[in-house]
Structure 1
Amino acid sequence: MASSRERTVLFADLRGSTSLYESLGNTQAAEIITRTVGVLTQVVRSQHGAVVKTLGDGLMAIFDKPVRSARAACEMQDAIARIMADAETGAASLKLRVALAHGEIIEVDSDCFGDAVNVAARLLEHAGDNEVLITDAVHAQLSRLDRQRFRCLDRLHLRGRAEPCKVFMLETWADDAPVSTLFSDFTDTPSAECLRLTVGGTHQTFTPQQTPVVLGRSPESTLCIDDTRVSRLHARIEWHGGNFHLDDQSSNGSFVRFANEPETVVLRRGRCMLHGRGVIGLGAPPDDPRAACLHFEIFSYATP
C-alpha cells in the first residue's frame, strides 16, 4: 500500500569509475567501487537514513530529518577521500556528487516517488565533483550554524521544471574550519600577482587579498552587470594555490577565451584558472555581439 510523508531525498553519484576500470582492470576497480558504495550505505544508516536503492555507481536514500541528510553527505565526501588514500593505486581519484531535496514523497513497494525525488535527481545533474547541493527547503530546516556552512548559488533551472529552484552548496562542515560567506574577506599568501578587469572601458585592479570578486546582476556584486542573461550572482573570481580562478555559479554559464587561443572554455558550474589575458562572456560566448563581456589581464607588479 502506498504511503505519503515528508522526507529528505539524497542522491549520490560516483564519478571517475570508467577511468578506474581502464587503469586497474575489472577486478580491482570493481572491488573499489563495491567497497565505496558499501561505505556510502553505512554512512546513510549511521545517520538514521534508509537506502532506497543503489544506482550503479551511486545510491538513493531518504531521511526523516534534513540535518541528518546533510551530515551524511559530508561524511560521504570524507569517506571517499579515505578510501582513495588507502587504495594506493595511483589511479585517478573517485569524485562524489551529492544532491538533497525535501518534500512530500510516496513510498510504493520499497521505492519512492514524488516531487522531492525528481528535484533531487535533477539537481544532481548540476553538481560538480565533490560538491554537495541542497534545495532551499533543506537549507531552511538546518540549524543557524549549519546554514552558514552553505553558500547560495542563486536560482537554477532544473531539467523538466518550469520554475527555477533556489540552491545552496556546502562549503565546509568541519567545526574547526572558518565558515565562509559569499562576501567574506579572503586572505592567502601575499603575492605580487594582480588581476585587472575591464568593463565598458572602466578598469579595476584586484590583489589576491581583495578576492573574491563577485560578478553578477545583483547590486551587491563586486562588478554589477545589467544583462538579462547574467544571473544575480553569476560567477566569482577567487585566489587559490597562487592563481586566480573563475568559478561559474550561473544558469546560463560563463565562457572564457584566452588571448591567442582559438578554443573557448565553457564553464557550467565549473572552474578554470585564469592566466595571461583574455575575455570572459557571462551568459553567452564572447563571439555573441550582444554578450555581456569583461576583459581580464593577470600581471605582476614590482615588489621591493
Structure 2
Amino acid sequence: MTTVATVVFIDISGSTALFETLGNERAARAVAGMTDAFKQVVVQAGGRVIKTLGDGVLAIFNSSALAVSAMTMLMRRHYGQWDSLPASQKFHVRVGMSTGEVVLMEGDCYGDSVNMAARLCEKAGHREVWAAASTMESGARVDTVFVPMGWMDVRGKAEQQMLYQVQWIEPEAQDIVTAYDSVLPMKPETVVQMRLRMASGGVERFFSTQEMPLFVGRSSDSEWVVLDRRVSRQHGRIDWRSGNVIYTDLSRYGTWVSFGANPATAVRRESVQLHGVGVMYFGVSPEDPTAPSTAFSVTPV
C-alpha cells in the first residue's frame, strides 16, 4: 500500500553510555520506559507507530501539522520535567521528519521520505527537531516556526537539501524584538573555510568549521560555557551552513548581538550570521552592565 505521510524518527541519545553505567538490565528498562512514553505521545496525537528501533521510534502521520504538533508536545513534555528526572532517565532526544510517499508493507514502511527522516535525525543535535522542506511546505501549522538551516549535504542525496529546524520551545510572555540576518537559502558557489574566535573573562578559544555545530550555554557539556543564572542551559547553537557561520538562539530570554561599533540587536529563537568582530550578550540586554557576554571574531583560514 502506497500513501503520503510524514515520517518521524525519534532517537534517544546517550543510551550507550547508560548501559555502561547502569548495566544491561537496568538500562534496558530505562530505555524501554522512555520509548513507551514516546509511542504514547505519537498515538495520542493521531500518529501510527511503525516500530521501535532499540533506542528510537519510527512513526508516521497522515499530515505534517499533526507530526509537528506531536513532536512539539513530546519535546516540551520531556524537557519540561528535565530537572525532576532521575539520572537514569535524563536522555537527550533528537527528531528528524520528512513528508512524501511511503510504501506500507508487512508492518514496516519504505521510501525516500523514510530514508530522509532517518538522515535528518542523525544530523540533529540534542533537543532538536529537524525537518525536510517537504514537511515545511506541506501544510504544517501556521503558528509553527521553521528556522532555515541552509542547504546541506544529506547522505544518499546527489544534491544539497534545504533543511529546517522546528522551534518547539514555548514562547515567553516577555516580548523581544527579533532580527533574522541570514543569507539563506542561497547555495554558495565558493565556500571559504572560516575560523571562529570566542573570548570572555580571560578565556579564549578558537573553533574550526569542522568542529561545528557548537552549543553555547550554562550546561557543562556546552562547547562554550557561560556560567550565569540568566543564561539557558543550551542558550544557542553555532553552525557552519553554506559557507556562513550562523548563530541560532534557543533560549527563553534571547541573545543580543552587536557587530563592530553598531548597536546590539535582539535575536530570539531566530538566526543571525556571525561575521567580522562583535559581541554576544546572553539572556539580558547589554544596557545592563552586568550582562553576560562573549566577544567573537570570524576570519578566513
TM-score w.r.t. the length of structure 2 is 0.63
Matched, 1:229 2:221: no
**Alignment equivalent of 1:111, drawn from 108, 125, 128:** 108
* Cα-to-partner distance string for 1:48-73 (whole Å, 9 max, x where unaligned): 11111111110111111111111111
Contact 1:10–1:60 (CA under 8 A) maintained in structure 2: yes
CA distance in structure 2 between the aligned counterparts of 1:103 and 1:264, rounded to whole angstroms: 36
CA distance in 1 between partners of 2:184 and 2:47 (Å):
39
2:79 maps to 1:81 = yes
Of residues 164, 167, 171, the one that matches 2:160 is 164
2:79 and 2:288 mapped to 1: Cα distance?
40
Checking the alignment, whether the CA contact within 8 Å between 1:97 and 1:130 is kept in structure 2 is yes
Identify if the C-alpha distance between structure 1 residues 258 and 66 changes in structure 2 by more than 3 Å, giving closer, same or farther: closer
Give 1:133's match in structure 2, choosing from 130, 135, 158: 130
**C-alpha displacement at 1:168, in angstroms?**
1.6
The count of aligned residue pairs is 232
Amino acid of the structure 2 residue aligned with 1:98: V
Determine if contact 2:8/2:67 at 8 Å carries over to the other structure: yes
Show the counterpart of 2:66. Answer: 68
3-state secondary structure, aligned to 1:125 = helix
For the residues of structure 2 that align with 1:53 and 1:131, how far apart are their CA atoms? Answer: 21
Residue correspondence of structure 1 range 91-102 to structure 2 within 5 A: 93-102=90-99
The answer as to whether partners of 1:105 and 1:115 remain within 8 angstroms in 2 is yes
Aligned pairs (5 A) from 1:1-304: 3-81=1-79, 84-89=82-87, 93-143=90-140, 145-147=142-144, 149-172=145-168, 174=170, 177=172, 185-186=177-178, 214=181, 216=183, 228-229=190-191, 255-257=195-197, 264=208, 266-272=210-216, 273=224, 283=243, 296=277
| Amino acid of the structure 2 residue aligned with 1:153 | M
State the distance in 2 between where 1:38 and 1:155 align. 34
Question: What 5-or-longer segments of structure 2 have no aligned partner?
Answer: 217-223, 227-238, 246-273, 281-285, 290-301
Measured in 1, the distance between the counterparts of 2:26 and 2:83 equals 15
Alpha-carbon offset, residue 265 of structure 1:
6.9
SS in 2 for 1:128: coil
Contact kept in structure 2, 1:150 and 1:172, CA below 8 Å? no
Q: Cα distance 1:143–1:12, how it changes in 2: closer, same or farther (>3 A)?
A: closer
Identity among equivalent positions (%) equals 26
Residue identity matched to 2:142: L
1:84 to partner: Cα distance: 4.5
Note the aligned Cα RMSD (angstroms): 3.9
- CA deviation vs aligned residue, 1:183-242 (integer Å, no higher than 9, x gap): x834xxxxxxxxxxxxxxxxxxxxxxxxx68464779xxxxxx87216xxxxxxxxxxxx
For residues 48 and 92 of structure 1, do their structure 2 counterparts lie closer, same or farther at Cα, with a shift above 3 Å needed? closer
Aligned to 1:290: none
Structure whose alpha-carbon radius of gyration is higher:
1
Gaps of 5+ in 1: 187-211, 220-225, 231-252, 286-292
User: Distance between the aligned counterparts of 1:26 and 1:214, measured in 2?
Assistant: 48
Q: Are the aligned partners of 1:131 and 1:169 in contact in 2 as well (CA < 8 Å)?
A: yes
Which residue identity lines up with residue 14 of structure 1 in the other structure? I
